[in-house]
Amino acid sequence: MGLNPQIANWQGRRVWLVGASTGIGLACAQALRAAGAQVVVSARKPQAVLDWAAQDLGVQWRALDVCDPAQVQATAHALLAEGPLDMVVYAAGYYQAQRATAMDLENMLQHDKVNYQGALHVLDAVLPGMLAQRSGHISLLSSVAGWRGLPNGLAYGPTKAALIHLAETLYLDLQDAGIGVSVVNPGFVDTPLTAQNKFTMPALISPEEAAREMLKGWGKGQFDIHFPKRFTLWLKLLRVLPYCWYFPLVRRFTGL
């Protein structure tokens, strides 16, 4: 059962994707554009986006550092001056493996600035407009790493858990205001971030497959969009296990 209004037709819908110069964000922007949406792509570096935007008037590029609140406000103000936003997708992400035996506070705080605080800056900039028009959709790109604590996830996992909690609360607060909310929890996706991993990643999928799953989830009105199911359904089971079972199982399967 869908918890949000189903988005079956993207034609003419205006979507702002924040943190979409590579990986899942860029693939999602391209899939949305192929489906007929007008897309605005923001990130610190344009990378693969500028050539694409130069060839397609339905694609805009706006440079943006999500850690700069004034820049977020200015960019959102400029976009809203051109017309309302039908969807905002927060896909900005920062990841480096870290364990508590080698804790790096500065690195942990950088994860928080990009993965969580950046989302708050964007929400602060776009929510008033969505509330005024009583429509729109906010989607936060989290991760299955936020479902439960995992080795090497000391810096990354808590920020993704915070996004999940944030999305749940946003849904409860905004449903009656006509605003849809979803949280996207991918497994392993072949992106520049996961390329850092030095272990075999089970059920690894492409960014393009991830983008198809996201559009499918929005089309069904889902709140919790997770994929690939052959991997995430097992993690859903682990999520409900008591700690006395969960911790030994994680140690056994990760060797950490």
Sorted by where each begins, the domain ranges of the chain are 14-254
Is 94 annotated as catalytic? Answer: no
β strands within 22-177, DSSP E: 38-43, 59-63, 87-90, 137-141
The single residue of 90, 156, 171, 246 carrying the catalytic annotation is: 156
The pLDDT assigned to 48 comes to: 78
Asked: is 14-254 a CATH 3.40.50.150 domain? The reply is: no
Handedness of CA 158, 156, 245, 102 (dihedral sign): negative
- Please tell me the predicted confidence (pLDDT) of residue 204: 74
Is the pLDDT assigned to residue 188 strictly greater than 90?
Answer: no
Question: Residue range 82-88: average pLDDT?
Answer: 97
CA-CA distance, 41 to 28, in Å (whole number)?
A: 10
pLDDT digits (tens, 9 = 90+) for 150-168: 999 999 999 999 999 999 9
The chain-wide mean pLDDT, for the chain, equals 93
Residue 192 predicted with pLDDT over 80 = no
pTM here is: 0.93
* Helix or strand run (H / E) with residue 69: helix 69-81
pLDDT surpasses 80 at 195? no
Going by their DSSP bridges, the two strands 59-63 and 14-18 should be labelled as unpaired
Q: Is residue 201 over pLDDT 90?
A: no
The tokens describing 71, both together, are: 């820049």
| pLDDT for the residue numbered 255 | 83
**DSSP symbol at 197:** -
Please, which pLDDT band fits residue 46 given cuts at 50, 70 and 90?
confident
Residue 179 tokens read as 């605003």
Give the percent of the chain with pLDDT over 70: 94
- Is 80 exceeded by the pLDDT of residue 235? yes
Closest CA to 218 of 30, 25, 36, 89: 89
